[in-house]
Amino acid sequence: MSGDPLSGYEYHRSGPVTLYLGDAVQVMSVMPDASVDCIVTSPPFWGLRDYGTGAWAGGDPDCPHRTGRVRRVNGITCPACRARWIDPQYGLEATLDDYLDHLVAVFDQARRILTPTGTCWVNLGDCYSSASGGAPTAGRPQPGGLRPPRPRAQDTLPPKNLVGVPWRVALALQSRRWWLRNAIVWSKPNAMPESVRDRLSATYELLFLLTKSHSYYFNLDPIRVPLSRPEAADGTRVIGGSRKGHSGGVGATARRRGATTYGAGKYSGDDVGVEPRAGRGNLVPLGHAHTASHPRGRNPGDVWRIATRPYRGSHVAPFPVDLPLRAIAAGCPPGGVVLDPFSGAGTTGVAALQLGRRYVGVDIGASFHDQALSRLRPHLPDTSSEEGG
**What averages of pLDDT result for each successive group of 10 residues across the chain (389 residues)?**
82 95 96 98 78 58 63 60 62 82 96 98 90 46 36 61 94 98 96 89 96 96 86 50 48 54 39 37 47 78 91 63 97 98 96 97 93 92 51
Helix-helix angle 165-174:96-113, to 10 degrees: 50
Q: Are 73 and 146 in contact (CB under 8 A)?
A: yes
Q: Are 343 and 363 in contact (CB under 8 A)?
A: yes
**First-last CA distance in the chain:** 17
Please report, for the chain, the start and end positions of each structural domain, with discontinuous segments joined by +. 10-59+70-221+301-379, 229-294
Give the pLDDT score at 254: 57
Sign of CA dihedral 244, 249, 251, 257: negative
Strand, coil or helix: what is 14? strand
Q: Which residues are CB-contacts of 21 (< 8 A; sequence separation ≥ 6)?
A: 9, 10, 11, 363, 364, 366, 369, 389
Task: Please calculate the CA angle 204-205-211 and round it to the nearest 5 degrees.
Answer: 140
Give the pLDDT score at 128: 85
Distances (CA, A) of 30 to 49, 88, 223: 29, 18, 34
Closest CA relative to residue 41, chosen from 362, 357, 314: 362
Give the pLDDT score at 294: 81
186 backbone φψ class: left, alpha, beta (φ>0; ψ -120 to 50): beta
Distances (CA, A) of 285 to 39, 114, 119, 252: 21, 21, 16, 22
Q: Are 342 and 24 in contact (CB under 8 A)?
A: yes
Task: Estimate to the nearest angstrom the gap between the alpha carbon of 148 and the chain centroid.
Answer: 28
Radius of gyration of the chain (CA): 24
Give the pLDDT score at 326: 98
Q: Are 46 and 101 in contact (CB under 8 A)?
A: no
- DSSP line for 93-144: -SSHHHHHHHHHHHHHHHHHHEEEEEEEEEEE---B--STTSS-GGG---TT
How far apart, in whole angstroms, are the C-alpha atoms of residue 337 and residue 69?
A: 45
Q: Does domain 10-59+70-221+301-379 have CATH number 3.30.930.10?
A: no
Give the pLDDT score at 366: 92
Give the pLDDT score at 85: 57
